[in-house]
Structure 1
C-alpha cells in the first residue's frame, strides 16, 4: 500500500503573513575588470575632495568663529549639537538600508523606507555643512593632539567618501557591492566625527546648549 499523501495545512487568519520586503541583492560572481574600472573616477574624485579640504584647512588662517545660532552659548555648542543631529540621521540611514537589503525583516511593507532613507541622507548632509564650515573656516586642519588630528582627518575622509558614494549612486556598470561599501565608509566617517567631537565634548564638559 502506498503511504497516504500529506494534506496541506488549512490557511488560517492566525498565521502571520510573510513580510513584504524588497528582494535581497543578487548574488554575483567575481568583479570583472570592466565593472571595477567604473570605480576609478569616483575614487579619484573622492580622493581629490578629501585632499583639497585638507590642504585648504591647513593653509587657511583660522578665524576662531564662523557659525553661531541664537539660543546657544557658543559656536562650539552649535557645532556639537549639529554633529549629533547628523549622526542620528546617519543611524536612520543605516537602519533603513539594513531593512531594504533584507538584513532586518521588521516591517511587512517596507516600500516607504526608500523615501526615508533618501531624505535622511540628504538632511544629514545639509546639517553637516555648517559644521564643516566652522571646522574649516574657524579652526582649520589642526593636529595639536591625537583626538584633534583624527577628527581633522575624518572630516576630510567623510566628504571624500560622500563624493564617492554620490558618484557611484549615479553611475551605471558599477559592482553591486560598491554602493553598500561606500555607504558604509560614509557612515564610518560620520560616526568617527561624532565620537571625536560631540561625544568627547559631552563627556568632557557635560551636556550644554
Structure 2
C-alpha cells in the first residue's frame, strides 16, 4: 500500500457534503423569519377541527409531536446500538413523519395568523426556535441520504432538531397547560 493510499484511508470525512444541507437549512430559517416579520398577521389561519380554539389545537398537536420526538430519540439510540434492545427502523421513520406532520398546521397557524413576535421573551424564543426547528430539520433530511458525511452529522442534526422541538413545546404547550389549563 502506498503512502498516498494510506493517507486517503485515514483522512477524516470532508465537511463539503454538508454545505448544501446546511445552506438550505439556513435559508429555511431565514425565509421563515423574514416571512414571519414581514407578513401582516391575520389572527386566523386554520380551522381547529374538533378543538375549542386555536391555542388548545396547537398545544395538543405540539404535545403529540413532542411525544413522537421522544420515540425518535429512543429508536435512534436503538438503531445506533446504544440501548441493548432492537426497535425496528420503521418505528423511527414513521414516528418522525408523524411528528413532522403534526407540526405543519401549528407552524402554519403561528406564521400566518401570528407572525414572528418579539415583544414577549417567551414568544420571541418560541418564534426563533420554530424557525430553527424547520431549518435544522431541512438540513437533517438533506444530509440523511449522503454517505460521505462525518459520523457525527445525523446525531448532531437529530439532537438539534429534538432540542428545538423540546424548546418549542416548553414555550408553547407546556406554557399553555400550566398558565391556561388543560383544555381541548
TM over 0.5, yes or no? Answer: yes
Residue in 1 that maps onto 2:77: 98
In structure 1, the residue matched to 2:94 is 119
TM-score using structure 2 length: 0.91
List gaps (5 residues or longer) in structure 2: 1-8
Match of 1:87 in 2: 66
* Structure 1 spans left out of the alignment, 5+ residues: 1-27
Q: Is the 8 A contact 1:60 1:140 kept in 2?
A: yes
The RMSD of aligned alpha carbons is 1.5
Contact 1:68 / 1:78 at 8 angstroms: preserved in 2?
Answer: no
Q: Equivalent residue for 2:6?
A: none
Q: Does 1:161 align with 2:143?
A: no
Greater radius of gyration (CA): 1
CA distance in 2, matches of 1:181, 1:201: 29
Q: 2:37 aligns with which of 58, 62, 65?
A: 58
Q: Where do residues 129-148 of structure 1 align in structure 2 (5 Å cutoff)?
A: 129-148=104-123
Structure with greater helix share of residues: 2
- For each residue in 1:46-102, what CA deviation from the matched residue of structure 2 results, as whole angstroms up to 9, or x when unmatched? 000000000000000101111222331111111111100011110100111111212
Q: How many residues align?
A: 176
Cα–Cα, structure 1 residues 29 and 188, in superposed 2: closer, same or farther, change >3 Å?
farther
Question: Which residue is 1:71 aligned to?
Answer: 50
